[in-house]
Amino acid sequence: MNENTDNSNKKIDQLKAAERDDYDQPLSSNEGVKISNDEDSLKAGDRGPTLLEDFLMREKLSHFDRERIPERVVHARGFGAHGIFKLYASQQELSMASFLVDPSLETPVFVRFSEVAGSKGANETNRDVRGFAVKFYTEDGNFDLVGNNIPVFFIQDGIKFPDLIHAVKPEPNNEIPQGQTAHDTFWDFIANNQESAAMMMWIMSDRTLPRSFRFMEGFGVHTFRVVNAQGISRFVKFHWKPVLGIHSFVWDEAQKIGGADPDFHRRDLWENIEAGNFPEYELGLQVLEEKDEFAFDFDILDATKLWPEEIVPVQIIGKMTLNRNVANVFAETEQIALHPGNIVRGIDFTNDPLLQGRLFSYTDTQVARVGTNYQELPINRPVCPVHNNQRDGKSRYTINTGRVAYHNNSLADNTPYTVPGTKGGFVTYPSTVEGQKLRVTAPSFLDHFSQARLFWNSMSPVEKSHIIQAFSFELGKVKSMSVRQQVIDMMGNISTLLATTVADQVGAQAPQVKESQNTQSSPALSMANTVFYPNTLKVGVIIAPGFNGPSTISILNEWIRVGLRIVIISQKQGVVEGTDGVKIKVDDSLLTGSPVVYDGLYIVGGTYEDPYFVTKTQQYAAEQYNHFKPIGASTYGAAIIQNLGILGAPGVIVEGENPSDFASQFIQAMTKQRFWERAQYS
Ligand code: HDE
């Protein structure tokens, strides 16, 4: 709980009214009857059967029996937090939405990050797209930006979504594999629905292995409209840019972290918010004038396409700060009902057929998952007033007074009354619609490979090698040789080099198709061009009794000053004493810690080191090294890892005479984060 933080806002105040604190209160039934014994059921004799009249046991068990609601069909595993959004400057030229007009407003937000494919209990570091869904509790009502961490999607039309999801979910005959794309039905879908080509490239890149939710971009994906007070509409794409940059795991690391800490992502978010390292994301807009609707060689209504940032720049307009953890995950994160159809005046839809499908699906799923009156739940209620003639339904919470529940009426003076657009009412943008009713794909949606190639062209050599590895892994797990070959042939349309290299890895034939001739690239797509900071990165510090007390403390203090987070690891938990009487409390033993969960490692060692300590420390160092992460070592530490043969390699820094020099070299290494050049070195 967050009693000691005061990041309150209108939404938090509203939620507080629904909170119940049971501490130091008498135990009671839900009917308010005080309970004298909560351990024994009511029996006929002390060894006899339990009696049906035991209303206390019946209530307790039957409520327990209904504790679960259906998990989300997709994005089942997720984690959320509260925060605020603030504009840098008014965007009234673009939109009349109050939260985009008034820079003095702090709009409360709730964010739910998620993994798409896995079930509610899935491992969080699987290769997967991440959901990035934000509910803005604005003065005009709730606006939901239900996006992903990838700017394009697999399919172009909502009607195909169940097919995509049936293909990616565990195969129904044996429910294997959980939360993974590396299986036959998924790749069979991809090869036979080639509009997924661009998305296929994105998901095989490191974007699907984010270092944490704090280091990933968010995208609204679809083209939306913004509409200003003069009624002028423009096309817009929404972007979230993480202030700490976009960073990812390497595949081997992600797999191992999944074992060491399957809750890695929620833990990272939760811990950082608790520690006051509030994650920040800037909101950006790509804006297109209506007249430019047909100015590109792709259709702006096609969700498998992005607008290259070099052609349509992202204008940064404000910042979201996540500053408060939830009080109760079920009540808030699980019951939140996000919906791309929740828009406010100043924002509107386009004819993107994927978006159009979503507009139906989300309300439908919330009614099925949470219930008819889901909008009344504390987490879903807007912070502005709600008045209408909707009534009743299962679990109705509001007590609507009066006898009039219809419109028009005279008995209640025709209230609640409608509000014209000029006074704040929502009015749909009157876009022109024409044409015959047809069940077809527009010809302008048919180029599937140019942007897939654009993505490939934009990758750094390291990113390209990771994409090749990812395809080799995923297709290598596909049992059907026919499916493997179909995917290789599809990839041939994107890059002959990519397809032939992977074909060789998975025992398939080189493709017989011509690769895309698109020579464009978009530097904004490469994570190599992101920003790098040491802030909030975790350093595992391995110490043993007799360590150099004063220099270790001065080094750690310098690191803490630049925002690095320190985890002290030793053979056992408790307190370890170094020279000069310096004592340090141990956070993790070599057993409860893990060689893979730290962003960097500092091996301090000490004068007392037993064989277990040495072997384990070497194991920690080897994993760090193989994952290209910084390693620092004192002279004791260097002796321990001597026979790994990594001393002198890039990003392996040994302490010299001056602790302060070492401290700053290590900070530089942490800022760089990965030493890819080791791939050539080792
Ligand atoms: Fe979703 N999606 N989706 N989706 N989606 C759901 O809604 C659906 C799509 C996204 O944290 C479901 O409340 C259809 C694109 C996120 O609560 C469901 C189509 C994008 C979340 C649903 C799409 C998303 C969902 C499941 C194709 C990125 C999690 C439970 C027309 C822009 C929200 C729920 C949260 C959740 C349907 C495509 C993102 C079934 C039919 C494209 C982040 O309604």
Task: Phi first, then psi: give them for residue 70, nearest 5 degrees.
Answer: -60, 140
Ligand 1 pocket: which of 69, 71, 72, 153 to mutate (most atoms <8 Å of CB)?
A: 72
- Tell whether ligand 1 has an atom less than 6 A from the beta carbon of residue 74: yes
Average confidence score pLDDT of the chain: 97
Is 114's C-beta closer than 6 angstroms to any atom of ligand 1?
A: yes
Rounded to the nearest whole angstrom, what is the distance from the C-alpha of residue 347 to the centroid of ligand 1? 19
Interface pTM (ipTM) of the complex? 0.97
> Does ligand 1 come within 6 angstroms of the Cβ of 353?
no
Q: Which atom of ligand 1 is nearest to the CA of 131?
A: 43
CATH 3.40.50.880 range(s) for the chain read 533-681
User: What is the tens place of the pLDDT at every residue in 557-581?
Assistant: 999 999 999 999 999 999 999 999 9
* Over residues 75-102, mean pLDDT: 98
Average pLDDT over residues 410-428: 97
Could you give the CA distance from residue 498 to residue 513 in angstroms, rounded to a whole number? 13
Quick one: pLDDT at residue 668? Answer: 98
CA-closest residue to ligand 1 atom 24: 147
- Among 155, 359, 361, which residue has the most ligand 1 atoms within 8 Å of its CB, making it the best to mutate? 361
Distance (Å, whole) CA 521 – CA 499? 19
Diameter of the chain measured on Cα atoms: 89
Its CATH architecture, for the domain 533-681, is 3-Layer(aba) Sandwich (3.40)
The answer to whether 482 and 192 have CB atoms below 8 angstroms apart is: no
* pLDDT higher than 90, residue 679: no
In eight-state DSSP terms, residue 74 is: S
Rounded to the nearest whole angstrom, what is the distance from the C-alpha of residue 368 to the centroid of ligand 1?
14
* Ligand 1 in reach of 597 Cβ (< 6 A): no
Answer yes or no: is pLDDT of 226 > 50: yes
Segment 493-501 mean pLDDT? 98
Looking at domain 77-181+209-376, its CATH class is mainly beta
281 vs 287: CA distance, rounded Å: 19
For ligand 1, say whether the CB of 78 is within 6 Å of any of its atoms.
yes
What are the backbone angles phi and psi of residue 194, rounded to the nearest 5°? -75, -5
Mean pLDDT of 169-186: 97
What does R_g of the chain's alpha carbons equal in angstroms? 28
Protein residue with least CA distance to atom 7, ligand 1: 362
The atom of ligand 1 lying closest to the CA of 113 is: 11
Nearest to 647 by CA among 676, 677, 623, 682: 682
Residue 530 Cα to ligand 1 middle (Å): 28
Q: Which atom of ligand 1 is nearest to the CA of 357?
A: 31
Residue whose CA is at the smallest distance from ligand 1 atom 20: 147
Outline which parts of the chain fall under CATH 1.20.1370.20. Answer: 449-528
Mean per-residue pLDDT, 305-313: 98
**Which residues are CB-contacts of 145 (< 8 A; sequence separation ≥ 6)?**
133, 134, 136, 218, 220, 238, 340
In this prediction, residues 511-538 reach a mean pLDDT of 97
Pick the residue whose CA is nearest to atom 9 on ligand 1: 358
Q: How many helices (H) and strands (E) does the chain have?
A: 18, 18
pLDDT of residue 30: 97
* 307 CA to centre of ligand 1 in angstroms: 22
User: Which pairing describes strands 280-289 and 315-325: parallel, antiparallel, or unpaired?
Assistant: antiparallel
Q: Which of 114, 239, 304, 362 to mutate to test the pocket of ligand 1 (most atoms within 8 A of CB)?
A: 362
Which residue intervals of the chain bear CATH 2.40.180.10?
77-181+209-376
Q: Which of 267, 383, 275, 379 is nearest to 323 (CA)?
A: 275
Alpha-carbon gap, residue 373 to 81, rounded angstroms: 23
Distance of CA 31 from the midpoint of ligand 1 (Å): 38
pLDDT confidence tier of residue 1, bands split at 50, 70 and 90: very low
- pLDDT score at 5: 54
| Mean predicted confidence (pLDDT) in 71-100 | 98
Using the predicted structure, report yes or no on whether residue 2 has a pLDDT greater than 60.
Answer: no
What pLDDT was estimated at residue 682? Answer: 52
* % of the chain with per-residue pLDDT over 90: 98
Active site residues: 75, 148
pTM of the entire predicted model: 0.97
What is the SS3 assignment for 490?
helix
The pick from 113, 146, 160 for probing ligand 1's pocket by mutation, whose C-beta has the most ligand atoms within 8 angstroms, reads 146
Fold assignment, 449-528? Hemocyanin, N-terminal domain (1.20.1370)
- At position 226, the amino acid (one-letter code) is V
Determine the average pLDDT of the residues in 299-322: 98
